[in-house]
C-alpha cells in the first residue's frame, strides 16, 4: 500500500532533457495550459495568460502532471532489463516515459480551440523500453481560471505476472515549481465550514499523507498564490517538497501533490476520472471547491484563536498572514521611534 512513496523519489535521482517543442496549447485569456506530445500528452505547461512563468516542474520524466497506476506484487525482472534501482517493482505504467528515458508513444491526438485530446501507449516505469498493455486517454479544457482534465485508463493485459492487488492510485501526480514552496489543504473534521486551513510541512520523499477532507490541496508562493488540485473522489492525499524553496520549471527542487484512491487494476480494467487544476490565491482555490461541492462561499470564518503560523495552520480568510504580521510589527516599531523622538524633543526643550 505504501509502495507508492518509493516510486515518487524518481524526481530526485534522475535528471533528463528539457521539454520538447511539440506542445498543444489552450489559452482562454485567463490561463494557458500545454500538453506535450513528446511527453506522452502529459501537462507540461501552466501559466497565467500572457505570462511565461510555467508553474509545472519538468526537471525529468517523473514530474509534470500525469497519469500513473499500480497493481500486483513487486517482481524481480532484472534479467529482462528491469532497472536495478527499481527492482523488485509492480506493474506501473506512467504517461511520460520510463526510467531509461524512453518516451511513451502518443498514437492519436486532436486539438481545437476548446479541447486537447491525446491517446497514449504508456511505458512500464521500471523496464527498458517496454510499453504497457494499456492505453491512457486525456481530455483537457479550460474554464475561467481552471483546467478541467478527464483521464481514462483502458487495460488489456495478456500476462499472468501480476494479480489485481489493491494499491494507491495517483489521481493524478502533480509536480509544481519550487517558487511555490508552501503546501496548504484542509485536514480537519469540519470541512466546508471555513475552518482554518492546514499547512503541510515541507516533507521530502517518502512524503507525507493526510486526509484532505475538502478534497483539495495547493502549492502557493509567499503571497498565497499558486495552483491547487481538486478531485472529488479522493480518499486521502500524499505530498511534500523536495529540495529547497525557489526554482523554476527545469530545476531539481519541486513540490508534489497527489489525490489518492485505493483500488485494484484488473487485466481488463476500464477506469475514468476527472480532476481540476485551479490557478489563483488560496481563497479563490477554496471557493472553487466549495461551489463544486455544492456549498456556499460566504460562510463566516471559524473563530479559532489557536490557529496560527506556529502550529502549521492558516487563519481563515487571511491572505498573507506572515506579511501581515510583519507589517504590524513594523508599524509598532515606527510608533515607538516617533514616541521616543517626541520625548527627546520635550526633554531637550526643558533643558534649554
pLDDT tier at 326, thresholds 50, 70, 90: very low
The verdict on 226 and 345 lying in the same domain is: no
Indicate whether 272 and 331 sit together in one domain.
Answer: no
User: Is 219 found in the same domain as 191?
Assistant: yes
Please give the tally of structural domains in the chain.
2
Please give the residue that has the higher pLDDT: either 275 or 343: 275
Between 43-52, 83-92, 233-242, 302-311, the lowest mean confidence (pLDDT) is in: 302-311
Q: Are residues 10 and 151 in the same domain?
A: yes
On whether both 329 and 285 belong to a single domain, the answer is no
Is there a single domain that holds both residue 302 and residue 344?
A: no
* Euclidean distance between CA atoms 293 and 231, whole angstroms: 10
Same domain, 324 and 298: no
Please tell me the distance from the alpha carbon of residue 84 to that of residue 71, in angstroms, as a whole number.
Answer: 20
Q: Which residues pair with 280 in a beta bridge?
A: 226
Q: Provide the 10 A C-beta neighbour count for residue 299.
A: 13
CATH of residue 218's domain is 2.70.98
Q: Is 199 exposed, middle or buried (0-12, 13-18, 19+ CB in 10 A)?
A: middle
State pLDDT tens for residues 141-175.
Answer: 999 999 999 999 999 999 999 999 999 999 999 99
Residues 252 and 350 in one domain: no
Q: Are residues 341 and 213 in the same domain?
A: no
Distances (CA, A) of 286 to 14, 213, 230: 34, 12, 9
Q: Which residues contact 57 (CB under 8 A, 6 or more apart)?
A: 11, 63, 64, 175, 176, 177, 178, 249, 251, 254, 255
pLDDT digits (tens, 9 = 90+) for 22-61: 899 999 999 999 999 999 999 999 999 999 999 999 998 8
Q: Is the pLDDT of residue 338 over 50?
A: no
pLDDT digits (tens, 9 = 90+) for 250-260: 999 999 999 99
Q: Taking 80 as the threshold, does the pLDDT of residue 266 lie above it?
A: yes
Residue 126 sits in the same domain as residue 199: yes
Query: Residue 300, preceding bond cis, omega within 30 degrees?
Result: no
Judge if 240 and 309 occupy the same domain.
yes
Its domain, for residue 114, covers 4-314
Tell me what pLDDT residue 74 has: 96
Q: Are 141 and 24 in contact (CB under 8 A)?
A: no
Amino acid at each position: 500500500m505504501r509502495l507508492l512513496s518509493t516510486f515518487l523519489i524518481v524526481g530526485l535521482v534522475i535528471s533528463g532533457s528539457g521539454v520538447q517543442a511539440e506542445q498543444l496549447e489552450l489559452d482562454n485569456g485567463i490561463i494557458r495550459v500545454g500538453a506535450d506530445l513528446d511527453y506522452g500528452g502529459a501537462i507540461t505547461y501552466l501559466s497565467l495568460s500572457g505570462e511565461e512563468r510555467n508553474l509545472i516542474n519538468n526537471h525529468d520524466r517523473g514530474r509534470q502532471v500525469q497519469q500513473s497506476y499500480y497493481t500486483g506484487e513487486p517482481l524481480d525482472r532484472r534479467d529482462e532489463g528491469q532497472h536495478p534501482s527499481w527492482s523488485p517493482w509492480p506493474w506501473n505504467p506512467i504517461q511520460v516515459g520510463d526510467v531509461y528515458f524512453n518516451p511513451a508513444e502518443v498514437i492519436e491526438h486532436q486539438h481545437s480551440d476548446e479541447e486537447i485530446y491525446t491517446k497514449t501507449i504508456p511505458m512500464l516505469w521500471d523496464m527498458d523500453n517496454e510499453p504497457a498493455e494499456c492505453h491512457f486517454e486525456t481530455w483537457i479544457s479550460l474554464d475561467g481560471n481552471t483546467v478541467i482534465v478527464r483521464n481514462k485508463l483502458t487495460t488489456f493485459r495478456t500476462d499472468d505476472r501480476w494479480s489485481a492487488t489493491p494499491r494507491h492510485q495517483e489521481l493524478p501526480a502533480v509536480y509544481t515549481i519550487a517558487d511555490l514552496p508552501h503546501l496548504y489543504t484542509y485536514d480537519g473534521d469540519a470541512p466546508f465550514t471555513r475552518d482554518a486551513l492546514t499547512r503541510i510541512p515541507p516533507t521530502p520523499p517518502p512524503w507525507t499523507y493526510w486526509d484532505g477532507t475538502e478534497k483539495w490541496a495547493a502549492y502557493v508562493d509567499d503571497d498565497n498564490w499558486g495552483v491547487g488540485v481538486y478531485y472529488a473522489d479522493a480518499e486521502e492525499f500524499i505530498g511534500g517538497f523536495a529540495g529547497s524553496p525557489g526554482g523554476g520549471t527545469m530545476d531539481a527542487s519541486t513540490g508534489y501533490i497527489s489525490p489518492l484512491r485505493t483500488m485494484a487494476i484488473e487485466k481488463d480494467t476500464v477506469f475514468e476520472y476527472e480532476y481540476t487544476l485551479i490557478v489563483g490565491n488560496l481563497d479563490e482555490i477554496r471557493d472553487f471547491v466549495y461551489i463544486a461541492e455544492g456549498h456556499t462561499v460566504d460562510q463566516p470564518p471559524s473563530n479559532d484563536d489557536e490557529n496560527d503560523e506556529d502550529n502549521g495552520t492558516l487563519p481563515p480568510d487571511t491572505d498573507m498572514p506572515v506579511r501581515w504580521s510583519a507589517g504590524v510589527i513594523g508599524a509598532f516599531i515606527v510608533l515607538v521611534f516617533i514616541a521616543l523622538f517626541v520625548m527627546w524633543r520635550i526633554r531637550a526643550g526643558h533643558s534649554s
